[in-house]
Structures are given as structure tokens and as C-alpha cells.
Structure 1
Amino acid sequence: MQKKQNKYQGKELSFLLPYLISFASGVLMGVTVAPIGAWFLAWIALAPLWVLVVTSSKSKKQSFPFLPSFLWGMAYHGIALSWIMGIHPMTWLGVPWWPSLAIALFCWGFISALGGILLSIWAAVMLRLGEQKSWLRVLIGTAVWCGLESLWSAGPLWWSSLAYTQSPHNLVIVHLGQLSGPNAVTAAIVVVNGLIAEGWTNRRDTENAERIFSVSRQLLPFGNAKSEQVGEPAQRTGFSAPLWFVNKYLATAAGLLITLHLIGFILYSRPVAQLPEAALKVGIVQGNIPNRLLRSSEGFRRAEENYTNGYIALANQGVDAVLTAEGALPVFQRNLMATTLVAAVKEKGVVAWIGAFGETGRSYTISLFTFNNRGEIVSRYDKAKLVPLGEYIPFEGIIGGIVQRLSPLDAHQVAGAANQVFDTPFGRAIASICYESAFPEQFRYQAAAGGQFILSSSNDAHYSPSMPFQHHAQDIMRAIETDRWSARATNTGYSAFVDPHGRTLWISGYNTYETHAETIYRRQTKTLYVRWGDWLTPLLLISSGGLWLFQKR
């Protein structure tokens, strides 16, 4: 009876083991980003899932590992994006406590499930490669992963690329983004994990080869004669082919990891030119106004007071311009001219970039306005990437009429054009408002169009502290990819200045009122990524697809 029970428990454990391994490895990938930041785990956390999928593809008895791969994606994206729950409670928006919790859970669960579905698609492709050579599986697996990330980033919901697991701690490898954007870093992580996994899955073939090698040596008449004469056990001397077979995948993974970091180090070590005529002293005001107050008259009064006082203090320090947070003054463009902040700009004569609401017919945009030294609006950038549900209604053409009837508002938020440029009195800038930091193509386009420095304006006040730190990590990647200095102003933190190598020159506290000035430099360089975009992903897809067809024939 005891034997049967142990046998049953053993079967149950073997059944659950793939799910536990997949979920645990997804958790390991999830803790690579803030708040934990164990970035080094990214180089091994995918390998267990890879082994599981490849083992299933080689065994006719095992079914498609949909659930394990789905669990891996859910665990990684769910943990990395757990800050989404920070939007609850939304009582300050008039949403009751329980519906607010339901909305937050739905948003968190939906984005995590989407990540799980994409992982399942990747696993389905890998499942069909069971009879392919290991090196071809690594190539195709890397290409498909990068292709899926590119597909996801082309939509409205995007944040947790594998590449951002390395920012801001491993700046050397993040510099691969200068070659082909974040997918160059993603490809590096996937290929190293794939090589480790292939080395593990081929261990049985290695053991068989080891046994054949030992038998063949014993059959040779001179193989172990000396050892047998002195009564010692047979020992191999010289080069061992099976030993090389055991280690070749791990050796390749280690060699590639070192080589990629050396390439990144070469890019990281290049000096950054700091020409005096390109210098620009920028001040940042972090107003620290809780979102729950912004909709009230008291909140507007505090925002106007904090940003005006911060502007005046920075102007007295001799800055060239002042940058404020997203929605620093929660008013429409037509009311901006009557604010004390614009009056201070007219008095001090220092350029200001002010976050407020633009107007487009009956709709409005989240915008960043450039005020020249006379207090006149000379340029405007409208946020192009809006947060689904939070800032716009998906499929508005279908359900927009229903929403309009239910809404008491006469206006709704719309996105700005995707091909905007942002000209300032100091030359063309690369502008980004909040969520856009996750979309490298927005930055690449503006850099290619002549953007000389980055102005990032954001408001992360309604999320947990890990979100603004991840947001800062995204901005670091964009600065490296475009080879630009970056000034980042937020409402409650983290505001920062970043150089083209991703080094943080200054970062603010969290939930604090702060002002700070730093000198940045305008640059007109163009990295390979700015010139050519993400050329690596199409190259991987085309080459791996062609080799797969060749092998199949």
C-alpha cells in the first residue's frame, strides 16, 4: 500500500514539476527589474522554459507545453508590471473602491495574460523544431522572440521588453541598443539562454558518447596497457572529444556573453564630446502635487505656486531653460497665459517647457508647450502614445457613441501625431511625455529628424515607487540608443539628468518637492540604430527562415 502511495505521489510530482519550474523561472525573470533589480538572473531565467519546450518537441508522448509557457509569461510580466495595482484606489476620480479594485486587477491580469499568450506562440514555434539542429533552434528561437516583441511594441500596450531587465545596472550591455535598438539586447539575452538550454538538453547524447568513447578505448590493444600493468584503474589521457561535446554549448554561451559585453564596453568607453557652444543649462521643477488634488482648486493653487516658485529660483541661478512635469498646470492652452507661471516667464525672460492641456476642436491633448523669453508659445508637442483605458477608449469608433452618452464631459482625450518634431529656441529637441518612454521608435524618429537632446516630461504619482524607477530605466535606454543627453521632469519623482552613456548625473527623491539645474549638451550624432532602425530582427527572421527551409529540403 505504501509503495502504491509513493508511486502515486511520484507521478503527481512529475506532473506538476514542469509547471513549477516554468513559473519559478518566470519569477526569476520578473525580479530582474525594479524594485529588486537582480538583472544578472536574466541570463539564465529563460533556459528552464527552453529546456522544457525542446524536451517536449523531441518526445512524441508529451503534449504541447502551452500552460508552462503561459505561466512563464504570466509570472514575468505580472511581477514586472505589478506596479499597475498602484492606480487603486481611484476614488479621487469618482470611482468607488470596489470597482476601482476590479479595474486595477483587470488591467494587471490582461497585460500579464497577453505576455503569457505571446510566450505560448513562441513555444508553439519551438515545438516544431524538435528535429532541427541545436544551433538552428537557437537562431530561430531568438528570431521569433525578437519578432514577437517587435509586434507587441507596435501596439498600444508595451513596457516589459527583456532588454529593460538590464537597465540601469548593466549599462555596458545596454549599449548594444546603439546598434539595433532594444531588440539587440533582447537577442543577446535569448541566445545566451538558448545555448545554456541546448547544452542541458544534449547531456544524454553526451553521456552516450562518453560510454562509446570508454568502450572504444578498452577495445584498443594499447589503450590502457600501462595502467593495467601497474594495477591502476584505466584513465584517459590527452584530448577527450566527448568532454568537448559536453562543454561546447556552455563554452559558446560564455564566450558569446563575454564578447557581447566587450562590444558594449567599447561603445560605452567612447568619449562624449562636450563643446562649450553646445552647452545648455536646464533646470527641472518637481512640483510634488498628489493627483488626488490636481482636480481641485486647492491642487491647482499648489501646482501654480510650486512650479512658479521653482521656475523663479532656477531663473535666478542663471539657467537657460526650465522643464516641468506632464500636466504641471492642469489647465487648457487658452487659460495658460493667465497663470502666474507664464507671468514669471515674461518677467524673467528664461525659456520654459510647461506641461498642460492642448486643444483640438472639442477634444484635448496632453501637451508640452515651449514658451520663449517673451512668454509666447513657439512650439507644442502632443502626447502620441496614450495609455489604453486610462487615457483613451480602445475601439472608440465602435463603442464611442455609447461612452459619449454615458459621459458627462463634452471633450475627450486624443493622441498627437506620430511624426511630430519639437523645435525650441535652442534647436530641435526629442520630446517624450510619460508612457512614450517605452517606445524607442518615437525617440529614433525624432533623433533622425534632427533632435539634439531629450526632454522627458512625466507624471507617475498614482503608481507604486517601482514604476517611476522602471520609467527612469526606460529613459536611460532611450538616451543610450539615440546618443543624447536627457532631462527628465516628473511630478513626484524620479526626475533626473542622464548623459549619452546612460549615466545618471542626478536623480531626485520620491514624493519630494525639488528643483535642480544641470548642464547638458546638444548633439547631432546618429547611431546605427537611428540611421537604420531595428535591422537585426528582420535579418534574424530572414536568415533563420532560409536556413530552416534549406535544412528541411
Structure 2
Amino acid sequence: MGDHRSQSFWRAVLGGALAGLAPASAGPLLMIPSLALLWSIANRPRLAAIWGLLAVLVSHRWLLALHPLTWMGVPAALSLPIAAAIWLFCALCGSALLAVWSALSRWLDATKQNAGLWTVLLLASIWGLAEVGLASMPLFWLGIGGSVLPFDPALAGLSRWIGNGGLAALQLVLAWGLWIGLSHRRGLLWGLLWLLSVLLVHLLGAASLQWVSPSQAELHLAAWQPVIPTREKFSLEQQRQLPALVQAALHRADSLSVEALVAPEGLLPSNWRGAFRDQPISLITGGFRWDVSEQRSSLLLIEPDALKPQPLRDKHRLVPLGEALPPLPSGWISGLSAVGGLRPGSASRFVDGFEPPIAIAICYEISDGRALAQATAAGAQWLLTIANLDPYPVLLQKQFLALAQLRAIETGRDLLSVANTGPTALIGAQGRVMPLIPPGQEGVAKAVVHLRSGLTPYVRWAEWPLIVLLAAAWIGLLRSSAHQS
């Protein structure tokens, strides 16, 4: 009995660690074995909670780069404990979610050898829909659906049909098949059927990836990666230098024969008034603005000779504490936010104030595939994401770029990513990543964005395939239970 419990514990530990390492690295090669280990403990909420805790601790280890926080007024002695507490809080949230899923699995008794496929499909579809829902909430989640890239673009091609949530559900089903085959010694036939299933979904995904709506036109843009340290950007000296830096970048972009320069999230302060002196081309940039008494982080358009920036879309998903502050006395929230607290904008990510229309993701809104699909359905012809991932390490940039790659595949749109320290890249509608500027290096680079209007099945249907699967699995489970009784 003791050995059995010890083995189960170590399966939870190993599975969680593999799941945390999978995003932006080996993808399904690590994720499917980690999920197979999860199925082996699926009816044991405490062990599943350990799996979830370790998965988030490993995948979100870049959160420790928040330290030091002294530039925000946090005492040096508290800086590392606060960063570690934020990291641990996110991990505990993941742990709680896995415990709930495991409790549901235990109730359905899915881990018995004679459990039907209906139960597995039900649990997988619930997980997939949960990932879609979590992607629209304040915390930044790296779900198993988004872990597919960049390692496995063929499997990611299926997101054209089933989106991020569908990829999550599919990997869970494949992992269940692997676990059943290994743990119950189903034999050679089961193994061959499992391998054929893996091959089939990859062939279907690769075929889906080849289809892309024809390019209707080209948009010539320049991307600027300024590499302004976040811990210094609000200093008086940095603010004094900013106009000259932007003006120089605009003239460098103009020499590339482009229509506009795109700059990253949060570049301009809220007191910015209008166009730059002798501004040669349009500027699309992130910046802050006041809307009556509310401060917002926005995508702004500054045309040459404009008297003031034109807000195109406000950021909707705000970072807890870093951007969105709780309603506490001012003395309690000192040092929690460098920007003093922001208010969210509309949930829509569709931008029609610039031609051609854009689907915009500001920072970790890139994880919300449903919102960008809705903006694409509304008429967006290309995707744009602007971000500031400083002071986080390159690991987060890789995870961010993998999510951006998935968004391009899901929507069948070219995506331009422009970030303060990276990633600054152009991603084609088929998911091909073309780096524009190396991480951490200042530069201005040209990007030719192909504009498209065709809609992928996922843009048309959203999560309906998963919802139908969930309903069918529930009906099948009820009928199976009635038949057995």
C-alpha cells in the first residue's frame, strides 16, 4: 500500500513537471505523457492538485524576474518575498482548478478500466472549455492547448477547426489512450490503433494548415523595438529622451518606405499631446490616456500634424495589482502599481479606426483566442499584438510567441508582434514565424503584412464543436448508465 501511494505521488510530481516544461519547448512530446500520468491519478484530487501546482510553478517560473521591485517603492527586504508570493498564488490557483477537475473525475469514476469513452470525452471537453474561459480572465494561463507550438505545427493546424480548447481536449483524449494502453496492457493492437490515431490527427492538421484564404493586398509597416527598461521608463530622464527616440525611429521607418511605424505597449505617457515635430508617417503605438477621470492603457494612432492621439482600442485584460488596483485606501496600495491603477476598456478587440481593420491584442490578451476570432469575424484583415515583457526573461517571450503563432493559425490571418524587448516578429497565416529583431536588441524593421478576408471554421463556429461534444458525451454517459442499470 505504501509503495502504491509513493508511486502515485511521484507520478503527480513527474507529470506536473513535464507539463510545466512543455510550453514553448517540446509541446505534445512532453504534454501527452504528462497528461497520461494525470489520468493515472485522475480520481485523487490531492495528487491532481500537486500535478497542477508543479505545472504552474515550472511554466510560470519567469514570474520571479519581477524581483527587484524597489523601483516601485517596495522595500528591498520585501521584494523577493512578494515576487515569490505572486508566483505561488498563481500555482495555487492552478492547483485548485486541477483538484476540482479531479473531484469531477472521481464522481464520474473515469479511472476504472471499464469506464467508457463518453466519460473521457466529457472530462476532456470540460477542460477545453475551461481553458477558453480562463483565457478571458485576469490571470495569464498557459493551457495545454497553447503548448502545442512551436514544436508541433501539424497538430496546431487543427485549431483552424477546433481552436485552443479543442487542442486541449484532443491531447487529453490521446493521453488517456496512452495511459490505458500502458497501464492495462491492452496489447499490440491497441498500441497500433493509438499510433494510427496520432498519425491521423497530424495528417488532418497538416492538411488544414495548407489552406489559407488568398491575400487581397499588402500592408507595409515598420516595427520598432525600443528596449526601454521598464524600471527606468517612468524616470524624468527617460521621459525627457523619449520624444527624440520616437522621432528618430519614425525617420528610420520612413526610409523603409512604409505606411506606418508600430511601437509597443505603454510607450507614450498619458500627458502626450499630439504629433511629433516633422513626423513623416503615421505612428501606431501603445500608450496611456485619460478618459474623463479614468486612466487607460490603449492602442493609439498619431497621424502627421495631428493635434492629439486618436484612441483605437483600450486594453481590456489588466494585470492584477500591476495595472488594476483594488478599491483600497491610497496608503495601502502605494508601490503596487507603477501606473497608478487603470480601468479596462471594451471586451471587443476589433479596431476599425485604422484602415485596414485590425484585431488587436495588448500584452497577454494574446492568450484569448476567442476574442481575436470574434474580431476577425467582425471584419479584421490582420492581427496586431503589442506588449512590454520587460523585465521577464526570454522564456516568456517564447511562450508569448507560441500563443501568437496559434492565434494566426486559428484565424487564418497574418500577425505582427511588436514588443519593447521582444518578441518582435511577423507570423504568416499558416503559422510561419519570421523574426524581425533579435530579443533585447533595439531596432526598426520592415514587415509586409498580407491582408485576408476569408474565415476559418473556428472563426465561424467558435467553441460550438466542443459544446456539441460535451452535450453528446453527457447524453452518451446517461444512456450508458441507464443501460447498465
Range class of TM-score, shorter chain: over 0.9
How far is 1:311 from its partner? 1.5
> Superposed, which structure 2 residues align to 1:448-459 within 5 Å?
448-459=377-388
Match of 1:322 among 261, 267, 271: 261
Is 2:329 the partner of 1:402?
Answer: yes
Comparing 123-132 and 407-416, the one that deviates more: 407-416
Mapped partners of 2:333, 2:410: distance in 1: 44
Mapped partners of 1:271, 1:141: distance in 2: 32
Is 2:187 the partner of 1:246?
Answer: yes
Q: Is the 8 A contact 1:19 1:67 kept in 2?
A: no
Mapped partners of 1:481, 1:454: distance in 2: 11
Q: Is the 8 A contact 1:362 1:412 kept in 2?
A: no
Distance 1:143 1:270, change over 3 A: closer
**The residue matched to 1:441 in structure 2 has which SS?**
helix
Match of 2:149 among 155, 167, 172: 167
**The residue matched to 1:430 in structure 2 has which SS?**
strand
Matched with 1:89 is 68
Mapped partners of 1:401, 1:95: distance in 2: 17
Give CA-to-partner distance per residue, 1:153-174, whole Å, 9 cap, x none. 3422232110111112211211
Distance 1:387 1:412, change over 3 A: closer
Amino acid at match of 1:392: A
Mapped partners of 2:7, 2:465: distance in 1: 36
TM-score by length of 1: 0.81
Matched with 2:78 is 99
How far is 1:485 from its partner? 0.9
Give CA-to-partner distance per residue, 1:379-403, whole Å, 9 cap, x none. 421101111122113xx4xxx1434
Matched with 1:7 is none
Matched with 2:140 is 158
Amino acid at match of 1:22: A
Mapped partners of 2:348, 2:408: distance in 1: 19
Matched with 2:296 is 365
Matched with 1:342 is 276
Comparing 21-30 and 138-147, the one that deviates more: 138-147
How far is 1:93 from its partner? 1.1
Comparing 137-146 and 539-548, the one that deviates more: 137-146
Amino acid at match of 1:112: A
Is 2:452 the partner of 1:494?
Answer: no
Q: Is the 8 A contact 2:157 2:209 kept in 1?
A: yes
Amino acid at match of 1:40: L
Matched with 1:262 is 203
Q: Is the 8 A contact 1:444 1:529 kept in 2?
A: yes
Matched with 2:225 is 286
Q: Is the 8 A contact 1:372 1:425 kept in 2?
A: no
Q: Is the 8 A contact 1:178 1:483 kept in 2?
A: yes
Matched with 1:234 is none
Matched with 2:179 is 197
Give CA-to-partner distance per residue, 1:190-230, whole Å, 9 cap, x none. 11001111223433xxxxxxxxxxxxxxxxxxxxxxxxxxx
Q: Is the 8 A contact 1:85 1:105 kept in 2?
A: yes
Mapped partners of 1:522, 1:379: distance in 2: 22
Match of 1:46 among 30, 35, 38: 35
Distance 1:198 1:129, change over 3 A: farther
Is 2:317 the partner of 1:385?
Answer: yes
Distance 1:425 1:388, change over 3 A: closer
Match of 2:15 among 16, 25, 45: 25
Mapped partners of 1:150, 1:454: distance in 2: 19
Q: Is the 8 A contact 1:171 1:501 kept in 2?
A: no
TM-score by length of 2: 0.92
Q: Is the 8 A contact 2:225 2:418 kept in 1?
A: yes
Amino acid at match of 2:352: D
Q: Is the 8 A contact 1:199 1:246 kept in 2?
A: yes
**The residue matched to 1:416 in structure 2 has which SS?**
coil
**The residue matched to 1:181 in structure 2 has which SS?**
helix
Give CA-to-partner distance per residue, 1:383-427, whole Å, 9 cap, x none. 01111122113xx4xxx1434775599963111111253124422
Amino acid at match of 1:402: P
Mapped partners of 1:73, 1:19: distance in 2: 13
Distance 1:335 1:129, change over 3 A: closer
Give CA-to-partner distance per residue, 1:206-255, whole Å, 9 cap, x none. xxxxxxxxxxxxxxxxxxxxxxxxxxxxxxxxxxxxxxx52344333222
Give CA-to-partner distance per residue, 1:345-387, whole Å, 9 cap, x none. 2xx1x22102211112222111111123443544421101111
Match of 2:374 among 432, 436, 445: 445
Comparing 138-147 and 308-317, the one that deviates more: 138-147
Q: Which has the larger radius of gyration?
A: 1
Distance 1:351 1:182, change over 3 A: same
Mapped partners of 2:368, 2:151: distance in 1: 20
Aligned residues: 476
Q: Which runs of 5+ in 1 are unaligned?
A: 1-10, 54-63, 204-244
Q: Is the 8 A contact 2:137 2:317 kept in 1?
A: no
Matched with 1:115 is 94
Amino acid at match of 1:19: F
Q: Is the 8 A contact 2:16 2:55 kept in 1?
A: yes
How far is 1:442 from its partner? 2.0
Distance 1:177 1:38, change over 3 A: closer
How far is 1:495 from its partner? 0.8
Give CA-to-partner distance per residue, 1:282-329, whole Å, 9 cap, x none. 100100110111111222234333332122111122111110011122
**The residue matched to 1:45 in structure 2 has which SS?**
helix
Q: Which runs of 5+ in 2 are unaligned?
A: none
Matched with 1:145 is 127
Amino acid at match of 1:97: A
Identity %: 24
Comparing 282-291 and 350-359, the one that deviates more: 350-359
**The residue matched to 1:456 in structure 2 has which SS?**
strand
> Superposed, which structure 2 residues align to 1:500-515 within 5 Å?
500-515=429-444
Matched with 2:245 is 306
CA RMSD of aligned residues (A): 2.2
How far is 1:76 from its partner? 1.2
Distance 1:84 1:453, change over 3 A: same
**The residue matched to 1:517 in structure 2 has which SS?**
strand
Give CA-to-partner distance per residue, 1:472-530, whole Å, 9 cap, x none. 11111111111111111111111111111111122421221011002111111111111
